Amino acid sequence: MAPHPVAVADAREPSQRPAAAAWLHVARHGVGANLPMMLLIDTANVVGSRPTGWWRDRAGATRQLVDRVRAARANQQLQGPVVMVLEGVARQAMDEGLVDGVAIVHATGGGDDTLVGLAEAAGEDVILVSADRALGDRVRFAGGQVVGPAWLLGRLGADR
């Protein structure tokens, strides 16, 4: 079986790497080279962790979470590089790119596979935010740490 595309070595120029790996590189090196941990957010899992009516407007709920994470990153409530993976209809919420210290990555297939690929590329320097047990096990196996959505939401302040 071929390796996941985001696990490709970073020896190539960012424009030649798969999109997720390029954003990982930008998030790790464009935000600050000496930052110890990358925060990797399972956006769909965090959005779905509270019954806020997100199911009526997935893209809108995703946009709100991304805005809150960007504000928290700008206010230094969140440290280090932050990568948010968007999947399915939620990809309509935001274009891929790096804004305000937060990289948005669109999962081309399953979001879990993209998250695991990014975690494998980051190695031990990643904290995944997700309540998905199977995904958490996969990221721990890759050397990362896992925290639940409440950890992140607590740092973002009161739900709006």
The structure's pTM equals: 0.78
Condensed to tens digits (0 to 9), the pLDDT of residues 106-145 reads 998 889 999 999 999 887 789 999 999 999 999 999 999 9
Give the CATH number of the domain where residue 101 resides: 3.40.50
**106: containing domain:** 20-28+36-156
Residue 13 lies in a domain: no
Number of independent structural domains in the chain: 1
54-81 residue pLDDT tens: 888 999 999 999 999 999 999 989 988 9
In a domain? residue 1: no
Distance, CA of 31 to CA of 29 (rounded, Å): 6
Instruction: Establish if 41 belongs to a structural domain.
Output: yes
Please report whether residue 60 resides in a domain.
Answer: yes
HSE-CB of 43 using CA atoms within 13 angstroms: 33
Which whole-number Å values give the CA distances from 48 to 7, 36, 53, 57, 124, in the listed order? Answer: 27, 28, 9, 12, 27
